[in-house]
Amino acid sequence: MSIGERIKKRREELGMSQLELAKRVGVTQGSIGNYETGVSNPKMELMPKIFDALKTDANYIFHEAVEMQQIDFTYPEIVMVKKYRGLDSHGKKIVDYVLNEESERCTVPAPVQTQPHTWTICYSEYKASAGTGVMLDSYERMERLDVLDTPAARRADYGLMISGNSMEPTYHDGDIVLVEQADSVEVGEIGIFVVDGDGYIKKFGGDCLISLNDDYAPIPLHEYNHVKCCGKVIGVAQVAE
């Protein structure tokens, strides 16, 4: 708290107006206002009258000034103080505003950046087609992949990358889908299928595999010798950075 702020605080504690204090000290009301706002400081010869009028002493009024004398100022800080003293009231008001805003910003603790929890899944190096089919020899060649920890990631037995755009707008080329192993899926559910060696991600239509993208025709299952369901798609993985 500055000298002016302490004068104002004590004056208000006594229920005294600026005009009344000015009369007791022998200055104008405007001078008291300037002291309290920090525009100017009272001359030293007036201080005994101020102490007397406010029924206080130098220890109270100059408390901050005494503390400031105990601080080791750097040369740039001394230069800044000298420049500040040379400003007019408008300039000091602008500097005070910026200083207060920045001081408040710097004293507020920065939010703690928490790392998202991750979950490790098995990730097949093969791809499932969202297009015209990708050859799949097996799903046994797996790697480990860290993804964001979600309920779907914890349920998944493995992850598989999509190739193509026939399942847009829900699934996109390059997405890693989370798959729960299953020998079959219900009609209308999305699954991973191997049709005569070609791997697909499609919606099961009972007698056909259906793309979500209307540009692709359904794949009739009765035309193929071997159709196998390799799992149910339960979500899309978010790869941990």
pLDDT 10s digits, 68-97: 445 555 667 767 877 888 888 888 888 888
Distance separating alpha carbons of residues 222 and 241, to the nearest angstrom: 43
pLDDT of 43 above 70 = yes
Is there a contact between 161 and 176 (Cβ–Cβ < 8 Å)? yes
Instruction: Kindly list the structural domains of the chain, giving each domain's residue range(s) and its CATH number in brackets, ordered by start.
Output: 3-107 (1.10.260.40), 118-236 (2.10.109.10)
pLDDT 10s digits, 136-178: 444 456 788 899 999 999 999 989 888 889 999 999 998 999 9
Give me the percent of the chain exceeding a pLDDT of 70. 84
* Residues written for the chain: 241
pLDDT of 28 above 90 = yes
- What is the predicted pLDDT for the residue at 234? 95
Tokens representing 110?
A: 């920065």
pLDDT class of 102 with cuts at 50, 70, 90: confident
Tokens representing 64?
A: 């901050």
- What is the predicted pLDDT for the residue at 241? 73
Q: Quote the pTM value.
A: 0.51
pLDDT of 208 above 60 = yes
